Amino acid sequence: MKDVLTKKMDDSAKENNVLKENKGFKILVMLLMDVEKNKLIEMYRKLLELRRFEEKCWDLFSQNLIPGTIHLYLGQEAVAVGVCSNLNDADYVQSTHRGHGHCLAKGAKMDKMFAELMGKATGYCKGKGGSMHITDASVGLLGACGVVGAGIVIAPGAALSAKLQGIDQVVACFFGDGASNTGNFHEGLNIAATWDLPVVFVCENNLYAMGTKQSDVMKVENVADRAAAYGIPGVICDGNDVVDVYKTAYEAVKRAREGKGPTLIECKTYRHKGHSRFDQGKYRPEDEVEEWLSKDPIARMRERLLSMGILTDEDASRIEKKVEDEVEVAAKFALESPFPDPKTALDDVWVEESESE
Amino acid sequence: MREIMAIEALREAFQEEMRNDKRVVLIGEDIGSKWHGAFKVTQGLAAEFGEERVRDTPISEAAIIGTAVGAAMTGLRPVAEIMFGDLIALAMDAICNQAAKIRYMFGGQVKVPVVIRTPFGGGKSLAAHHSSSFEAWFMHAAGLKIAMPSTPYDSKGLLKTAIRNIDDPVCFFEHKLCYLLKGHVPEEEYFIPFGEADIKREGADVTIVATFLMVHKSLKVAEEMAKEGISVEVIDPRTLVPFDIKTIINSVKKTGRVVVVSEDIKRAGITAEIASQIMEEGGFDYLDAPIKRVASLNTPIPFSPPLEDYVIPNEKRIAKAVKEVLA
C-alpha cells in the first residue's frame, strides 16, 4: 500500500502520548512517530480546505446565494480526512446528507461543488442534486444521500461489485449516530459481515440526531458496541483527532483489503453549528459546546505539527493563505456560472441510447 | 413450436443472460441451491453459475435492493428478487428514493442497471400480505421502467431485454397465476423491446386494455363475445413505463369503445392512468362511449375464496363492462 507508515519522529513527540478520560469515553492522543511527515502536512491542508470551504458556504448561504438548506461539516473534518487519507482513487465513499467534507476529502473539486450548492449548471450534478446529493462519481463517490441510513445498504453493493470483479477496492461508508438506529444499519452491516465484504462503516457520532440526544434513544453507550451483533470489530476513536482517525481507519481498510470483511468505526465528534439551515443548536448545553469547541480538530492538528517541529508558524500560515485563496477562486467560479436552462430538468431521468453499451 | 411454462421461460432468460455476461448476478432470499426460489424460477441456476452469482441473502429486503443498487452503480448488472410483491414495501426507499432517483440527482453521472423482480397478484388464497398488485406505486416513481408480462413468450423476451439492453432500473413484475401457464417460446434467442404493446387478439367493436392475468381473462371474454357476434380486441401493454399509447389509440380509432382491466385496486390504479392517457393522447375524438374501468375493489385482498373472488375482477365483470360500453 502506498501509505506505508515508516517515518520515525523525534522523542519529544512521545509527550503527546497521553491517555485521557473524558465524558465517558477514552481519547487516545496518538503518537505521531510512525506517520509520514508529508502525510501529516497533507492531512492538515485537507482539514483546512474542508473548514474554509464550509465557512465560505455559511457565508454564501447567509447571503441567500445557496438555495434550500445545508448541513455543515464544521467540527467533524478530522473524520472524513482521517478516513479518506487511507483510500486510493479507485476506492469508494458512500456519503450522507452532511456530505461536503466527504466529497472534498475524496478528491472532489471546490469549484464544481460550490456551483452545485448554488444550483448552477456547472455544478457536479448540473444543479439537480444540491447539497444533499452532491457527488463526483469520477473520484469514487457513491453520492451524498438525503435519506438517513439509506446509504448503509448501498455501500455493501459497491463492495460486492469489487469482490466479484476481483478489483482491489474498499468502500468507506459514512453515517451518523442517528442512522445507526435505522433498520438499514442492521441489514447493511449484517449482509456486509455475512459476505465478508470490503466495507469500512464509519459512524460519525456527533451526539445529536437533529435535536435528539444519542443517549436518549440508545440503550448502549457506544454505536461501536453494536458491532458485536454482526461478528465484526467495533472500534472507537477520537473523531476530533485526525491522526487517531487515520490510524484506526488504516487498520480497518487493511482488514477490508485482505478480504477479512467489514469493521465498524465510531468516531466521537461534534458539529460546531446546528443541524441545518436556521438551527442554532440551542438544545445543547453551553458547557458541552464549549468543551467540544476546545477540542477543535484543526487547532489541535496545527498545534501538534508546530510543537513537533513539522511545521513552523510561517509554514502553517502559508498553507492557510493558499487554501483561503483557492476557496475564493472556487467560489468566484460558482458565482459567475450560469443557472441551468429550465428545460434541462427533463434530462438525466433515463440513460440515453447513445450512452448504452 | 414448443410450449413451456412462464417459470421455465424466465429461467431460460437467466441462463442465456448469465452465460452471456459474467456481470449478471442474482440476489434474493432462497433463490439458490437449497430452495431454488419460492416459485422455482431460479432452479438449477446456482448449480450452473455458482453461489457467488446466485446469492442467497438474509431476510433483508432493503439490503437486497440496496446492495443490488450499489452493485449496479459500480459495474455489475444485478437482478434482485423480492419473494412476494407485498414485501417490496420493505425496500421502497431503496427502489423509489435511490434506484429511481440516483441517476437524475447526480446529473447523469452514473447509471443504475438493476432489475428488480417480484410476483404480484392474488387468486391463491394467500391473503393480504402475499396477494397485492402494487404496480401503480412504481409507475408513480419517476425513473423506473416497468415490465409486467402475461405470457411465457413475453416473460422471456422482456426479461432478456431488461437484463442486457436497459441501463436504467427496471421493475420486472410477474404474476403468480401466470407462472404455470404454458405458451409458445421459440428455441432461438429473441428480445422484446420495452414500450411495444402486443395485440393479443384482434377485434373491431371494443378494445380491452389488460395486463397480467387479466389478459387471459379478457381473452376468454372475447372468445365468449365472439359467439354473440361481438368482436373484441385485447391489447396487453406489456410495459407500463415506457407505455405504448399509440397502439392503443390506433385500436380506439377502430373500435371507439374501451374497457381497461387490471388486478390492482381501482382507486388511483393503473386503469386510471391508462384511461387518462387515452383521453389526452388523441383517443377522445374517437370514443363513442365513456371508458370503463374494471379493477380490484378498494380493499386489501381477503383470504377466503369467495371473498377473494369477489374482490378481484373476473370474466363476468369484464363481460359486463364490455356490454356497457357497447350499450
Residue B118, pLDDT above cutoff 50: yes
pLDDT (average), residues B241-263: 98
CB contacts under 8 A, A 104-163 vs B, are: 123-129, 133, 135-138, 142-143, 145-147, 150, 152-162
Nearest CA in chain B to A340: B107
Q: How high is the pLDDT of residue A277?
A: 78
Residue B288, pLDDT above cutoff 70: yes
Residue A149, pLDDT above cutoff 60: yes
Q: Does B73 touch chain A (CB under 8 A)?
A: yes
Contacts of A147 in chain B (CB under 8 A): 93, 97-98
The answer to whether the Cβ–Cβ distance between B66 and A150 falls below 8 Å is yes
Contacts of B76 in chain A (CB under 8 A): 160-161, 164-165
d(CA B294, CA B320): 10
Express as a percent the part of chain A with pLDDT over 70. Answer: 89
Nearest CA in chain B to A350: B168
Residues contacting residue A222 through CB under 8 Å, at least 6 positions apart: A25, A205, A234, A236, A266
Q: Out of A186, A191, A356, whose CB is closest to B67?
A: A191
Q: Does A182 touch chain B (CB under 8 A)?
A: no
> pLDDT, tens digit, for every residue of B167-201?
999 999 999 999 999 999 999 999 999 999 999 99
The answer to whether the Cβ–Cβ distance between A143 and B106 falls below 8 Å is yes
Residue A9, pLDDT above cutoff 70: no
Q: How high is the pLDDT of residue A27?
A: 37
Smallest CA–CA distance, residue B96 to chain A, in Å, is 12
Mean pLDDT of chain A: 90
Q: pLDDT band at A21, cuts 50/70/90? A: very low
Mean pLDDT of chain B: 98
Q: How high is the pLDDT of residue B41?
A: 97
Q: How high is the pLDDT of residue A34?
A: 63
The answer to whether the Cβ–Cβ distance between B63 and A156 falls below 8 Å is yes
d(CA B304, CA B171): 30
> pLDDT, tens digit, for every residue of A67-79?
999 999 999 999 9
Q: Does B116 touch chain A (CB under 8 A)?
A: no
Contacts by A63-66, CB closer than 8 A, 24 or more apart: A65/A118, A65/A335, A66/A117, A66/A118, A66/A119, A66/A131
Nearest CA in chain B to A129: B105
Q: pLDDT band at A11, cuts 50/70/90? A: very low
Smallest CA–CA distance, residue A129 to chain B, in Å, is 5
> pLDDT, tens digit, for every residue of B143-165?
999 999 999 999 999 999 999 99
CB contacts under 8 A, B 19-48 vs A, are: 23, 25
Contacts of B170 in chain A (CB under 8 A): none
Q: pLDDT band at A280, cuts 50/70/90? A: confident
Phi-psi region of B196 (alpha: psi -120 to 50; beta: other; left: phi over 0): beta
Express as a percent the part of chain B with pLDDT over 90. Answer: 100
Answer positive or negative: Cα dihedral of A214, A216, A217, A221: positive
Contacts of A152 in chain B (CB under 8 A): 66
The answer to whether residue B130 is catalytic is yes
Taking the CA atoms of residue B222, residue B224, residue B227 and residue B229 in that order, the dihedral angle to the nearest 10 degrees is -40
Q: Does B111 touch chain A (CB under 8 A)?
A: yes
Residue A33, pLDDT above cutoff 80: no
Q: How high is the pLDDT of residue A341?
A: 98
d(CA B75, CA A298): 37
The answer to whether the Cβ–Cβ distance between A150 and B94 falls below 8 Å is yes
Nearest CA in chain B to A122: B107
Higher pLDDT, B80 or A25: B80
Express as a percent the part of chain B with pLDDT over 70. Answer: 100
Smallest CA–CA distance, residue A183 to chain B, in Å, is 8
Residue B271, pLDDT above cutoff 70: yes
Q: How high is the pLDDT of residue A353?
A: 55
Return phi, psi of residue B132, to 5°.
-75, 165
Active-site option among B130, B140, B184, B216: B130
Strands B292-296 and A208-209: unpaired
3-class secondary structure, A22: strand
> pLDDT, tens digit, for every residue of A161-176?
999 999 999 999 999 9
- In chain B, CATH 3.40.50.920 sits at 198-326
Instruction: Kindly state which CATH superfamily the domain B3-184 is placed in.
Output: Thiamin diphosphate (ThDP)-binding fold, Pyr/PP domains (3.40.50.970)
Return phi, psi of residue A142, to 5°.
-90, 0
- In chain B, CATH 3.40.50.970 sits at 3-184
Nearest CA in chain B to A136: B109
What strand order describes the sheet that includes B292-296?
Answer: B198-201, B232-236, B206-210, B258-265, B292-296
The predicted model scores a pTM of 0.92
- Please return the burial class of A270, using the count of CB atoms within 10 Å of its CB with bins 0-12, 13-18 and 19+: buried
Q: pLDDT band at A28, cuts 50/70/90? A: very low
Taking the CA atoms of residue A285, residue A290, residue A295 and residue A298 in that order, the dihedral angle to the nearest 10 degrees is 110
Judge whether B182 and B119 are in contact, CB under 8 Å.
no
CATH for the B198-326 domain, from 3.40.50.920, 3.90.1150.10, 3.40.50.300, 3.90.45.10: 3.40.50.920
Phi-psi region of A73 (alpha: psi -120 to 50; beta: other; left: phi over 0): alpha
Q: Out of A125, A142, A348, whose CB is closest to B70?
A: A142
Q: Where are the alpha helices (DSSP H) in chain A?
A: 37-62, 77-84, 100-106, 110-117, 151-165, 183-194, 214-217, 242-257, 286-293, 297-307, 313-336
Amino acid at B44: G
Residue A153, pLDDT above cutoff 80: yes
The answer to whether the Cβ–Cβ distance between B108 and A126 falls below 8 Å is yes
Question: How many interface pairs between A and B have CB atoms less than 8 angstroms apart?
Answer: 146
Q: Which domains does chain A have, with CATH numbers?
A: 36-335 (3.40.50.970)
